[in-house]
Copies of this chain bind each other. A is one copy, B any other.
Amino acid sequence: MAKKKRAYHHGDLRRVLLDASVDLVAKRGVDELSLREVARHAGVSPAAPYHHFASKGELLGAIALDGFALLADAMRRALEVEARGSPVEKLRAIGEAYVTFAIDHPAHFHLMFHPSLLPFAESTKEGAPAHAFAILSEAIAQVVAVPEIGARASQAGLVVLAWSLVHGAASLVLDGPLAGGLPELGVRAEEVPELVTRTFASLMSPRPAKVATHRAK
């Protein structure tokens, strides 16, 4: 079709397989994905992928690791944009980046947290996953250093809270009951990353400041 005639040796099959997998996971979900289908999509025999990955799990694990790197990048970029902002505003920006990342890269996000791939992703304890976590951790340390906040919440409490918050928002919008937003309340799905993090930031701010997207009556 639109497929270029390639040399016999594909040259870039590894990349093509990864991309095809991402597409298929995004379309059908992790559990519907088969390696044979990926090969079919890449226009290649079912055995070909084994020249690039030892197993299906290794292929998906590679995508998961890519995902953590992309996430860490997105978080870092968000931080830079808010370089002059308050600790709370920085944390908010990171959080929004997390949720937005999940929505923009659903396949990566699903694979990153798929239980069956933990062995593959864990193998690099020092790599991208740890890096992403470190960014969050550091941002929270700065928030906790604000006296009004430190008096109410611990580092551990805030880490678990913040992570849960953005992870939950991502999950509910991606797979779950928030996929269509919350029409009765006038919330569209694409507003969720901002709404949820801005509401959070409002609650943390030392004194009542701006109200989140949906003005309280």
Question: Does B157 contact A168, Cβ atoms closer than 8 Å?
Answer: no
A142 interface contact, C-beta 8 A: no
For A150, A157, A182, which residue has the most chain B Cβ atoms within 10 angstroms? A157
Interface string of A153-179 (1 = CB under 8 A from B): 111111111011111111110011110
Measured in the bound complex, the distance between the Cα atoms of B141 and A210 in whole Å is 19
A209 interface contact, C-beta 8 A: yes
- Residues in B neighbouring A31, C-beta threshold 8 A: 31
How far apart are A151's CB and chain B's nearest CB, in angstroms? 5
Given contacts A113-B175, A155-B214, contact A200 B167 (CB under 8 A): no
- Residues in B neighbouring A212, C-beta threshold 8 A: 152-154, 157
Looking at chain A's contact residues, is the secondary structure mostly helix, strand, loop, or mixed? helix
Interface residues of A in 178-209 (CB under 8 A from B): 178, 182, 185-187, 192, 195-196, 198-200, 202-205, 208-209
Top 8 closest A-B pairs, CB basis? A168-B168, A157-B199, A164-B168, A154-B214, A167-B168, A164-B169, A156-B185, A157-B212
- Residues on A facing B (Cβ under 8 Å): 29, 31, 113, 115-116, 129, 144, 148-161, 163-172, 175-178, 182, 185-187, 192, 195-196, 198-200, 202-205, 208-209, 211-217
List 19 additional A-B contacts (Cβ < 8 Å) besides A160-B199, A168-B168: A113-B177, A149-B203, A150-B216, A150-B217, A151-B211, A153-B202, A153-B203, A154-B213, A155-B216, A156-B195, A157-B195, A157-B214, A160-B187, A160-B195, A160-B196, A164-B166, A164-B168, A164-B172, A167-B176
